[in-house]
Amino acid sequence: MIGVHGYRINSGQRVNDCPAYREESVVRALGSLMLYEIGYGGRVVAINRTKIVTETRLFSCVDTTVFEGEEREMEPLLRGVYFATQAQHEEGFIDSSVDYQIRLLGEEMKGVPLYIEMTYPFVVGRVARPAMMLALGYAEEEDIRAAMHLRTEDMVPALELHRDNPEISFRDLVDVYGFPPRKNAFI
């Protein structure tokens, strides 16, 4: 089990423990890290073999989240951070992400750099799903493509369901169980 806890700072004041301490399975902790921290533009501020600390900024709030566990359990989380970081640093990622964002928002947003800067973390979230899948050992393009179409709240349940049904491909499992497609194009 992975221990997850954190706190929120709003306008320089510590507001609360957010999230309160909880223990999660490796898949659920990886989902929290990839989909809700890195997926929303969070960055890793400290990392070692047993601990990952992220900071996620949204307007005047700074959420700090800590993921802790034994080395063996933390491996998928560490791989997820590695894959997400690699994807974000690939040549052309920033340019293609801004182009992608402009296509989503419309040409009229092209001249509004502040809006693009404020929403850019959500576009960075495009790497969260593939990084999560690669971290768990999924390498088939069809499986990763299926994950890209899942709603955020369905990612972890779909992966847990697949762990219980390894005889079927992840893509086929998503089709068979009829997970609704995501509507939020950013993450």
Nearest partner of 76 among 128, 12, 30, judged by Cα: 30
Instruction: For the chain, give every domain's residue range.
Output: 2-137, 144-178
Q: What is the pLDDT of residue 4?
A: 95
Q: What is the pLDDT of residue 85?
A: 80
Q: What is the pLDDT of residue 16?
A: 75
Task: Retrieve residue 185's tokens.
Answer: 């194009």
Q: What is the pLDDT of residue 187?
A: 43
Q: What is the pLDDT of residue 186?
A: 45
Phi-psi region of 23 (alpha: psi -120 to 50; beta: other; left: phi over 0): beta
Task: Retrieve residue 29's tokens.
Answer: 């902790």
Task: Retrieve residue 34's tokens.
Answer: 């990839």
Q: Which residues of the chain have pLDDT under 50?
A: 91-95, 185-187
Q: What is the pLDDT of residue 94?
A: 47
Task: Retrieve residue 84's tokens.
Answer: 């997400």
The whole-angstrom separation of Cα 29 and Cα 90 is 26
Contact (CB, 8 A) for 22 and 38: no
Confidence (pTM): 0.73
Contact (CB, 8 A) for 76 and 135: yes
